Amino acid sequence: MTETTDTTGAAPGARLAALRAAFPLTIPILAGFVFLGITCGIYAGTLGLPWWVPVLLSIVIFAGSAEFVVASQLAGAFNPLTTFAVVLIINARHLFYGLSMLERFRGLGRKRPYLIFGMCDETFSITYATEPPAGIDRGWFMLWVTLLNHLYWIAGCTLGGIFGTVVATSIEGVSFAMTALFVVIFLDQWEKDRQHLSAVIGIAAAAVALCIMGADNFMIPAMALILIGIACTRRRIEPAYAESATEDDGEGRA
């Protein structure tokens, strides 16, 4: 393991070496981000949004599922409070990513703000679990991983935005993409989690709020019920996550 300090004024050769080390690790993400980004762009097109909206969202938000939510909100009567609450809940996991990356981001100077902004699941998995090769600057390595993944997503959303505005009227079912995305995310987390109590609480809270408040007003009450339910059962939920984190740390050090 090689520790290198941030060299903001690193020579072009050092930056290129870091790019060469980072790019192969992002190739699997390239395919996934481009195709999912295309879906996001097409979805925005089916909502009647201009092609540049998903492009702008991909640049300033860079959070796939959150961009689907914001696009759907922009297409109708925009409710800032609801949008903020939903996006916060969707991306709350990034708070824990940030805690895990405090040491790795220390001393990175001007790179740090963009590394914080560009943190996503895939970028975190690489920058946290992968050590750069010997002689490669850690700061530039993480910056290239983050920037490449961001560019892949922007490219996908751009293609989808342009494509979606051209053929949106002839594509059926694309508007279900966001629902399908959340179903896939939920099922993936269900399989990975050692406990399912938090998921059951989420489903039950949403169902109760929907029955009481109706489809137009249930989101915030559902989140409040979820927060209360998780707080009341945290002693049963936390041990499973602590055990999982210990095992993951052991595998990473192996």
- DSSP labels, 155-184: HHHHHHHHHHHHHGGG--SGGGHHHHHHHH
Q: Position 243: which residue type?
A: E
pLDDT digits (tens, 9 = 90+) for 59-72: 999 988 889 888 88
Please state the pTM of the whole predicted model. 0.68
Q: Position 195: which residue type?
A: Q
pLDDT digits (tens, 9 = 90+) for 146-163: 999 999 999 999 999 988
The residue length of the chain stands at 254
pLDDT computed for residue 178 by the predictor: 54
Residue 235: burial class (beta carbons within 10 Å; 0-12, 13-18, 19+) = exposed
Average pLDDT over residues 136-143: 93
Give the residue with greater pLDDT, 129 vs 144: 144
- What percentage of the chain reaches a pLDDT higher than 70? 80
